[in-house]
Amino acid sequence: MVYSFDNFEFKEDIKVKVGFFHLSSCSGCQIAFLDMFDELADVLDTVEIAYSNLLTNNKEIPKINVAFVEGTFSIGFKPHIRLLKEIYQKADMIVAVGGCAAFGGIRRLNTGAQAPQPSHQASIPITEIAFLRNKIKYVIPGCPPNPNLLYKFLLALLEINEDFLRPFEFMVFSTFACGYDILTEVVNKGLCTGCGTCVSACPTRALEFSKRTQRPQFNRLFCVSCGSCLAACPQSFKPYPQPVYG
């Protein structure tokens, strides 16, 4: 049996080859993969870790089905340029892992991409690199992503569970994801149910639950733009009626 996405397919009796790649970041996302080691052992019959600077001794990148990439791209840094070009050539599909690769994360905040120099960017997420866009299929948010989420994502990918994967695909087209998105896309549009899931998902406590309003409150000074809150919110990907004017 052959399972397929738009430009990616694998056969049931052949292992899916995956690679883990590191750009500018703390390596926390790869460590999160290691934290699900026991669960990862359960899928090694169907998954082959073909490349990882932490898990393998490979010096060259082989042909792989899925490339998991963490970290931001350092503009003008030639090793990053060479690595991303090779990933593009060798991988059938790219998954941006963590807030840095997906939205810029804390790397974007600590390199001058905020006031008073908003035009200066030394690091950008891989989702903003034009030649990679047709290969980046999914985004896994978090700083770092929860190991359980990574495991469930991997299972859904192997099973082609499109219902589970759809939110991760949707986030590829987001250029930013932070507490402001919870306010503008959920709370201000009347979709918030006051469940507090976004607050519990935030790794930096940038979101707090207000007992007075029964809604989340956002402190932008603590936000690292990892996207955890938007991904965790059960209302964030639900369609809502558009206003009709005229």
Residue-wise pLDDT tens digits, 109-145: 655 444 444 444 578 889 889 899 889 999 998 888 8
SS3 120: coil
> Residue ranges per domain, the chain?
2-173, 179-232
pLDDT of residue 121: 58
According to the CATH classification, is domain 2-173 in 3.40.50.700? yes
Q: Report the first-to-last Cα separation within the chain, whole angstroms.
A: 52
Q: Decide: 66 and 93 in contact? Cβ < 8 Å.
A: yes
Q: Model pTM?
A: 0.79
pLDDT of residue 146: 86
pLDDT of residue 63: 95
The closest of 24, 29, 28, 21 to 122, measured between CA atoms, is 24
Question: What stretches in the chain show pLDDT beneath 70?
Answer: 1-13, 108-121, 174-176, 238-246
Residue 69 Cα to chain centre, angstroms: 9
pLDDT of residue 9: 58
What region, left, alpha or beta, does residue 190 occupy, with left being phi > 0 and alpha being psi -120 to 50 degrees? left
The CATH classification number of 179-232 equals 3.30.70.20
| Residues composing the chain | 246
